[in-house]
Amino acid sequence: MSEKTAEKHAAEKLIYGFHAVLARLRHDPSGVLEIYLDLTRRDARARDLVHQAKDNQVKLVQVEADRLTRLVGKAANHQGVVARVKPVALTHSLDEVLENIKGPPLLLILDGITDPHNLGAIMRSADAFGVHAVIAPKDNAVGINATVEKVASGAAETVPYIMVTNLSRTIEDLKEHNIWVIAADMDGDQPLSGIDAKTGIAWVLGAEGSGIRRLVKQSCDQIARIPISGTVESLNVSVSAALCLYETVRQRGV
């Protein structure tokens, strides 16, 4: 690969699925370079995509489904649409986010979430419940990739995703901003409903299996549990995140 070609690939990426492509068209049409649509798609979603591309003056090419599969791989459920886009500029810093929050902050801290489907679902809930930012470590964490964007259905465009070097240090910084940091863990001493979420709050969630790392958990102000009465030992992390966020907005009367 030539240096010029490598620079071109670094300046663009592929996203797929109708939700992800339409969301990018609505939020950042100038960042959509070209759309490839399965030429056999004649349904309402395909027609809507064609109209949106035309209205935003984005080139749309109808191609065979095999070409789409070659672009994103057999494991990807592209739904008949793939787009070449400019990467989203990660210009957010935690300080910038905190400075611009009006009202009590609501943050999510993810420790060791490596599954893009889980992250995509969490980002979708974060958007729905008004989360100001999602924070994750730079190591041992999934970034915003095509799968995340597809599952997030546009939320990866609207919710800042901030990757930090040291979660424990970041938690201490949040405390200095009067943000109460709560770990969601099955061994918590308080049920979810017993947490006062009306003040600024950051929920900490860990990956299934390994959970929240010991030092990160020790940095938290409190540990809350989600009561479970069935036979399963734990919930999917994206479900846990949604429950924590719902409880927060319920208490705040949003």
Quote the pLDDT of residue 155.
84
Span 7-16, average pLDDT: 68
Q: What is the pLDDT of residues 20-52, one digit of tens each?
A: 888 888 888 888 999 999 999 999 999 999 999
Asked if residue 131 lies in contact with residue 245, where contact means CB atoms within 8 angstroms, the answer is: yes
Question: How far apart (Å, rounded) are the C-alpha atoms in residues 127 and 249?
Answer: 13
Beta-strand pair 180-184/161-164: unpaired
Quote the pLDDT of residue 6.
39
Q: What is the pLDDT of residues 194-228, one digit of tens each?
A: 999 999 999 999 987 778 999 999 999 999 998 88
Above 50 in pLDDT, residue 8?
no
Asked if residue 108 lies in contact with residue 135, where contact means CB atoms within 8 angstroms, the answer is: yes
Asked if residue 32 lies in contact with residue 24, where contact means CB atoms within 8 angstroms, the answer is: yes
What is the 3-state secondary structure of 52-101? HHHHCCCCEEEECHHHHHHHHCCCCCCCCEEEEECCCCCCCCHHHHHHCC
Above 80 in pLDDT, residue 181?
yes
Asked if residue 111 lies in contact with residue 139, where contact means CB atoms within 8 angstroms, the answer is: no
Query: Helices (DSSP H) in the chain: which residue ranges?
Result: 3-10, 18-27, 44-55, 65-72, 94-99, 116-128, 146-152, 155-158, 167-176, 214-219, 237-252
C-alpha of 41 from chain center: 28
147: phi then psi, degrees, rounded to nearest 5: -65, -45
pLDDT band, residue 11 (cuts 50/70/90): low
Judged on CB neighbours under 10 Å (0-12, 13-18, 19+), 45 is middle
- Name the binding residues for S-adenosyl-L-methionine: 206, 226, 235
- Name the binding residues: 206, 226, 235
Rg (CA), the chain: 20
Cβ neighbours around 50 below 10 Å, total: 15
Asked if residue 223 lies in contact with residue 182, where contact means CB atoms within 8 angstroms, the answer is: yes
Domains and CATH numbers, the chain: 3-85 (3.30.1330.30), 94-252 (3.40.1280.10)
Above 50 in pLDDT, residue 4?
no
Above 90 in pLDDT, residue 96?
no
Question: At CA 76, angle to CA 136 and CA 242, rounded to 5?
Answer: 40
112: phi then psi, degrees, rounded to nearest 5: 80, 30
Quote the pLDDT of residue 36.
97
Question: How far apart (Å, rounded) are the C-alpha atoms in residues 240 and 171?
Answer: 20
The token duo for 158 is 């609207």
Above 60 in pLDDT, residue 1?
no
Above 60 in pLDDT, residue 5?
no
Question: How far apart (Å, rounded) are the C-alpha atoms in residues 229 and 210?
Answer: 21
Above 50 in pLDDT, residue 145?
yes
